[in-house]
Amino acid sequence: MSVGTELYRKTLLTVAGNKAVENLSLKYGKKLAGKFIAGSTLEEALEAIRSLNSKGIMATLDHLGEGITHLHEAALYRDEYLRLVEGIADEGVDSNVSLKPTQMGLALDPEESYQNIRAVAVRAKERELFIRIDMEDSPFTQATLDMVRRLHSEGLDNTGTVLQAYLHRTEEDTRDMIREGIRLRLVKGAYKEPANIAYQSSAEVIHQFKTMIRHHLDQGVYTAVASHDDHIINWTKQYAKDRDISPEAFEFQMLYGLRMSEQERLAQEGYRIRCYVPYGTMWYPYYTRRLAEKPANLWMVVKNMFR
Rounded to whole angstroms, the Cα distance separating 163 from 53 reads 26
Cβ neighbours, 10 Å, residue 189? 22
- Let me know if 90 is a catalytic residue: no
Candidates 185, 272, 274, 290; catalytic one? 185
Rounded to whole angstroms, the Cα distance separating 295 from 77 reads 32
Rounded to whole angstroms, the Cα distance separating 246 from 129 reads 23
CA distances from 83 to 9, 40, 160, 294 (A): 35, 15, 20, 33
Candidates 78, 134, 272, 290; catalytic one? 134
Rounded to whole angstroms, the Cα distance separating 171 from 177 reads 10
What are the residues whose beta carbons fall under 8 Å from the beta carbon of 270, sequence distance 6 or more? Answer: 247
Rounded to whole angstroms, the Cα distance separating 31 from 282 reads 13
- Let me know if 185 is a catalytic residue: yes
What are the residues whose beta carbons fall under 8 Å from the beta carbon of 127, sequence distance 6 or more? Answer: 85, 86, 88, 89
Which of 52, 121, 99 minimizes the C-alpha distance to 282? 99
Which residues on adjacent β-strands are paired with residue 61?
97, 277
Residue 65 near residue 77, CB atoms below 8 Å: yes
Please give the positions annotated as active site: 134, 185
